[in-house]
Amino acid sequence: MKKIITDKKVLKDFLKYESKKYGLKSSNYPFIALSENRLLYRYNYLMRKLEYYTNCNKRIRKIFTKLYYLRWQRKHSIFLPINSFDKGLKLIHIGPRLVNGKANIGKDLILHINTCIVAGGVNDYAPTIGDNCIISVGSIIVGKAKIGDNVVVGAGAVVNKDFSGGNMTIAGVPAKKISEKKPEDWNEEKRQIISKNN
């Protein structure tokens, strides 16, 4: 288990960065959460706090935070382990997600609903995912699969082999490279469509 958040300064940096991903002005815990983004940021906030309390051996705070975190997981079926995600995790919509505790995931991951990042079969190997990746709705990444930086995993894809070269879009069952478009390419295309319609 890698330990990323090992002091209060790093914790504040993570929370500030991730709150902006959700379009929030404050990185504090959102007690009043009337929007989906505020509810989802609650999850990030609790996960990062639990990582900090666990890594810094703050036992009492860890126990109470873990209880609340587990309650939140069961309520929304979002099962993400601590100390697996680097800075910049963003969840899209409330809904089921499952990630193996041995997965190693880089910065700025966008994780949609109904996604699984899990070990393969009877072995303990879990996937590795690079920086700036998008895991689309219903995708499954399994076993020793390695995904490089700047990869979009298409909706419903099953990834069971390496795409460690990065800078591509993959899709299908089993997944294969379908395009050299990176996350920013898709985002730019979306911005152009929105601007045309306005």
What contacts 6, CB < 8 A, 6 or more positions away? 55, 56
pLDDT reported for residue 196: 59
| Cis peptide preceding 30, ω within 30 of 0 | no
Look up tokens 């002091």; give the residue: 7
pLDDT of residue 191 exceeding 60: no
C-alpha to C-alpha distance for 125 and 165, rounded to whole angstroms: 20
Phi/psi at 14 (nearest 5 deg)? -60, -50
Q: What is the pLDDT of residues 100-121, one digit of tens each?
A: 999 999 999 999 999 999 997 7
Q: What is the pLDDT of residue 1?
A: 58
The answer, yes or no, to whether residue 95 has pLDDT greater than 70, is: yes
Residue 89 confidence (pLDDT) above 90: yes
Residue 165's closest CA among 185, 180, 183? Answer: 180
- With the CA atoms of 185, 100, 5 and 17 taken in that order, what torsion angle do they form, in degrees rounded to the nearest 10? 30
88 pLDDT band, cuts 50/70/90, is very high
Q: Once rounded to an integer, what is the mean pLDDT over residues 80-106?
A: 95
pTM of the predicted structure, to 2 decimals: 0.89
Instruction: Read off the pLDDT band of 125 (50, 70, 90).
Output: confident
Q: Would you say residue 195 has pLDDT above 80?
A: no
pLDDT in tens, 14-38: 999 999 999 999 999 988 888 999 9
Q: Delineate the domains of the chain, giving CATH numbers in brackets.
A: 1-88 (no CATH), 96-198 (2.160.10.10)
Q: For 138-190, how does the pLDDT look when each residue is reduced to its tens digit (9 = 90+)?
A: 999 999 999 999 999 999 999 999 999 989 999 999 999 998 888 887 665 55
User: Average pLDDT in the 3-14 region?
Assistant: 93
Which residues lie closer than 8 Å to 36 by C-beta, 6 or more apart? 93, 94
